[in-house]
Structure formats: C-alpha cells, structure tokens
Structure 1
Amino acid sequence: MMPIRFVLAALLMLAWAGGAGAQSTLGGQGSVPPPRAAAPTSTAPTSTPPATSAAAPRAAARPARASNAQAGNPQAGNAQGSTARPAAHPNTTPRPPQTAAQRQQAQQQRRAAAAAAAAAATAAAAAAPPAQAATPPPPEPIPPIGSVTGLPMPRFAALRSNDVNLRVGPDRRFPVEWRYQRSDLPVQIIREHDQWRRIRDPDGTEGWLAASNLQPGRRTFIVRGEASAEVPLRRRAEEASTPVARLRPGVIGRIRGCDAGSDWCEVQVQDRRGFIRRGEIFGVLPDEEIK
C-alpha cells in the first residue's frame, strides 16, 4: 500500500509543476496579466450614432422626481406655472342647524336692511328736485263789451237772494260747483252767454249763474282784509277825519257814490254813512265813477 500512495503523490506533484510552467511561458514574466483592449481614439465620428441622439432627448425630457413634500401638496407644482386641478369632492363640513334665536336674529337683520334701503330711497327722492308743475294756460281776456247786453265789462252786480247756485257751465245741465247763501254779495261779471253770466266772487272763484239771480242796478261792497283787522268808516273823505264806525272784514254795505279819480267812496252800512277807501273794499273798479 505504501508504494502505491507514494506513486500517486509523485504523479500529482508532476502534474501541478507542468501546469505552472505552461502559464509562465505564455505570459512572458508569469505574473503579468494579459493586455487589455486599446481605448478608442478621440477623433469625433463623422455622423452621430442613432443610439446617442435618442438617448440624450430621453434624459432631458424625463422630469425630476418630486419630493415627498410636493407629492403630498397638490399646490406645490404651481411654481412651474401649472394649475392644480381641484379635488372632485372637497371635504366640507355640514352647517349645523340654526336655533330659534339665530333665525329670529337673521330675520331682524333682513328687516333692518330693508328699512335702511327704504329710508335711503326716500332720502334720495326727497333730495331730488321736485318736478315742475304744469303751468295752467292763461285765462281768456275779458271782452270790453258784453256779447248779449252790450254793457261794458267787467262790471259789478249784487246777488238777488240767499240761495244762488254757481255752475261749471252756462246751462242747468252742468253740475253745481258752489252755492251762495248771502244776499247783496257783490260779484264781477266777466262774460255773457245767452241768459247766463260768468262771474268772479270776492275770493276769486269763477263760474256761471243765471242772469235772473243778479241785481244789475244795485251796487254793493264787501270789506276786505284779515279777520282780526278793522277798517274805519270816516265822517269825511279824509284820513284824519273822525271814524263813525269800525267795520270788520266780510261786512256788506251799499255804495252810494264814488268820484272819478278819488280814492274814497261814500257808503252806507245799516244806518251808518261815511267814507271808505276803494282799496279796502271789493265791489268797485279802481277808476270807476258811481253816481
């Protein structure tokens, strides 16, 4: 057994020695590794390979990966000019139901707002200039002569009775506008139409009445002025003459005569006679002469 083992060990040693010598012979020095392939020259190729041109755009077009903060916040991309799309279903908190006190307070606020708006509208309307009233047409001129009687106009006459109707037109079919209940009230005739006369009373009211309700030959007057005033009836046609009576506005008397160009007229009130100024009575024209 010993010789066989010795022979096998010797064969193994010979085989190991032969392999090492063959490797050393191929390598020159035995410890130097085989030479590497030469590096390509720096001369640029005449044309760019397709692989190189395709790789560059892919590298440039690939966006940088967003950080964790940007991925969690949709608005982080707005710095690049992009608009974040709102969430399809935003998180909303349902409104709690209002209490009775809150509803009452809201109703009061609405009423207060409506009242304030109405007050503002009223103030604006009050501040606006008022609309100008339509100017009434001028009255028709009084003819100098009556179309029926041929007498001069205007002229004065007295009411005949204590019940005289003033109508809006010269006929009984026209409605009654006013009713006079004072005999001897002086009125001014300003127009004639058949058996009707248009008159103007001491207050300036105008209308139509039947000619039969007038006393053409009787001249009367009524005292003008404020209700609290008194007009002296003087003994002579002088301002310094002694008064024989003091007449209140509304007193009616009879005119006995007025001189042309004079400011005084002789009148009678009941059993008192005296003189009174033309401007203090209604029933005579400024320059009229009465005998």
Structure 2
Amino acid sequence: MKRIPGAALTAIFCITLAGAPWAQERGPVTNLPLPRYVSLKGSEGNARRGPGLSHRIDWVFTRRDMPLRVTAEHEHWRRVEDRDGAGGWVHYALLSGVRTVIVDENMLALHARPDPNSNVTAYVEAGVIARVNQCRADWCRLSADGARGWALRSALWGVDPGEDFD
C-alpha cells in the first residue's frame, strides 16, 4: 500500500469537493448559486467594466429577455456574460429571475411531449429568445410568440446540462 502524505491527501480531498455538484459556489450577496442564469428585464442594459456607475460602459445589451449568466456578485451589481462571453457588471435592478434561452439550432422542432417521436407543434429559428417553463432530463418546455413545446436542451443556450426545474 502506498502512503500519501497528509498535505497531499488534503489537496486531493479539496479538489474532489470542489468538483462535486452539491458543493456549488454561492454568491456572497444573494447566497444563490454561481454561476446561474437570469434574463434582461428591459430592452437595454449597460455592462460596465467594474461594479459601479463610475466604471466605463464596455457593452450594451439590447434584447429584452436575453438570457445572461451571472458569474459574480458585488453589492447591487452582478457580473454577467452572454452566450458569446461578452458582458460586464450590470445593476441587479436590470435583471430578472425569469428563465429564458436562446435557440442555437435553426428550425428547432418543438414537440408536444419530451419525446422525439411526438407531434411537432412548431419550428423555431436560431436566435429566438424563448421562455423556459420546465427542464428535465434532455428536454426543456419552451414558449415563444404563442408557440409551446418541448425542445432538446442541447439546442439551447441558457440552461446547463443536468439542470432540472419546474
């Protein structure tokens, strides 16, 4: 049997805990998971270089309901990024907890049930922002512009693999 020194064992144990799904990082302000997804409340939101009005605006989000990934928190500010990694610090009042996604696959089929053999209720173009009502296994239930149905999670940006919710 090989002996592992205590310091090495501690390092191995810490690495294992950090990668565990139940050991997810929490935001210091909200105690909500980091990273997590939110959406843009209005049709415009400034992303700043740092958390405060004195910081330069690096990016302006211009699509209402755009899904954004929160990666950090500082007081009333949230560091966010879009699907391309662009972003910065946004005031929390500009963000909503309503879950949305961007469709990444052109002419994505929405199904009546989370089953590829079920009836197709609509086709959605790439770039459409849809509201997420539910996710389970490999499927998410979406609604967009009056159309509703289940879509494969792999064709969406704004939900992580294995993230299930109602």
TM range (shorter): 0.7 to 0.9
Larger-gyration structure (1/2) = 1
SS in 1 for 2:142: strand
Specify which structure has the higher proportion of helix. 1
Q: 1:167 aligns with which of 41, 48, 56?
A: 48
- Asked whether 1:270 is paired with 2:145, we answer yes
- State how far apart, in whole Å, the 1-side matches of 2:117 and 2:84 are: 31
2 CA distance for matches of 1:283 and 1:144? 18
RMSD: 1.2
Give distance in 1, aligned partners of 2:158 and 2:145.
17
1:17-166 map, 5 Å: 144-166=25-47
CA shift, 1:160, in A, is 0.6
Change (3 A) 1:178 1:206: closer
1:174 Cα offset (Å): 1.0
In the alignment, the residues of structure 2 paired with residue 174 and residue 152 of structure 1 have an alpha-carbon distance, to the nearest angstrom, of 26
Specify the alignment match of 1:197 in structure 2.
78
Q: Secondary structure at the match of 2:93?
A: helix
Taking every aligned residue pair, what percent have the same amino acid on both sides?
35
Residue 123 of structure 2 aligns to a residue whose secondary structure is: strand
Over 3 Å off, 4+ runs: none
Deviations 1:191-230 (A, max 9, x none): 00111000111211131111110012x11111014xxx32
- Equivalent residue pairs, number: 143
The corresponding residue for 1:285 is: 160
- 2: CA distance, partners of 1:256 / 1:285: 15
Distance 1:230 1:270 in 2: 15
Q: Report deviation, 1:284.
A: 1.0
Q: How many Å apart are 1:182 and its aligned residue?
A: 1.1
User: Does the CA contact (< 8 Å) of 2:59 and 2:86 recur in 1?
Assistant: no
The corresponding residue for 1:220 is 100
Higher fraction of strand: 2
Provide structure 1 residue ranges, at least 5 long, that are not aligned to the other structure: 1-142
Tell me the CA shift for residue 242 of structure 1.
Answer: 2.3
Say which SS state the counterpart of residue 30 (structure 2) adopts: coil
TM-score for the superposition, normalised by structure 1: 0.48
Aligned-partner residue type, residue 189 of structure 1? V
Partner of 1:231: 108
Q: CA deviation at 1:245?
A: 1.1
TM-score of the two chains, using structure 2 as the length reference: 0.82
Unaligned segments of structure 2, at least 5 residues: 1-23
Correspondence 1:170-185 to 2 at 5 A: 170-185=51-66
